[in-house]
């Protein structure tokens, strides 16, 4: 209880982002489960929810990373370098994810085996990225 009263702005951000990561993973599994049962209506519903949360999460991260980089007091040089590196290396994956989710969450877009294959590949890449982000960047931010 007292932790939340005295936690830093960075710690609060990291806590929020980790919770969102968990929700993203749950939604991804719901997409996989629905598609595996040939329930395309439920698959679309879960894809739309995943798309909405992913957009919100990524936009919030972008804004907060920008603020962190502008506020010299919140980051040391090593953490600042990690944030910049994360932003740069994730840019392509983020664009691919957003384009994929935008296209496939549309009601008129058919879901086929190619969709499912690509979705699973994206989920694997994002899972690795989330783990890396939380173990490295987030742990560094929490200590500030």
In this predicted model, what pLDDT tens digit does every residue of 72-104 receive, in sequence order?
Answer: 777 888 888 988 998 998 899 999 999 999 999
Q: Residue 137: which of 129, 60, 91 has the closest Cα?
A: 129
Q: What is the pLDDT of residue 142?
A: 82
Domain boundaries, the chain: 7-142
Q: Which residues contact 116 (CB under 8 A, 6 or more apart)?
A: 32, 35
State the chain's maximal CA–CA distance in angstroms: 52
Torsion angle in degrees (nearest 10) through CA of 42, 114, 56, 9: 110
- To the nearest whole percent, how much of the chain has pLDDT over 70? 94
Q: Residue 134: which of 49, 18, 51, 33 has the closest Cα?
A: 18
Contact predicate 103/109, CB 8 Å: yes
Q: Which residues contact 40 (CB under 8 A, 6 or more apart)?
A: 34, 111
Q: Please, what's the b/e burial string for 83-96 (b: 16 or more CB within 10 A of its CB; e: otherwise)? A: beebeeebeeebee
**pTM (predicted TM-score):** 0.87
Q: Which residues contact 23 (CB under 8 A, 6 or more apart)?
A: 53
């Amino acid at each position: 209880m007292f932790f939340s009263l005295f936690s830093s702005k960075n710690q609060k951000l990291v806590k929020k982002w980790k919770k969102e990561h968990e929700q993203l993973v749950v939604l991804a599994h719901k997409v996989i489960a629905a598609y595996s049962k040939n329930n395309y209506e439920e698959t679309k519903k879960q894809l739309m929810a995943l798309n909405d949360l992913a957009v919100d999460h990524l936009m919030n991260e972008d804004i907060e990373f920008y603020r962190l980089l502008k506020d010299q007091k919140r980051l040391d040089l090593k953490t600042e370098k990690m944030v910049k590196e994360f932003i740069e290396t994730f840019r392509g994956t983020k664009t691919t994810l957003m384009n994929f989710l935008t296209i496939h969450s549309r009601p008129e877009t058919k879901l086929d085996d190619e969709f499912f294959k690509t979705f699973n590949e994206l989920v694997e890449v994002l899972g690795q990225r989330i783990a890396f982000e939380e173990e490295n960047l987030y742990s560094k931010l929490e200590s500030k």
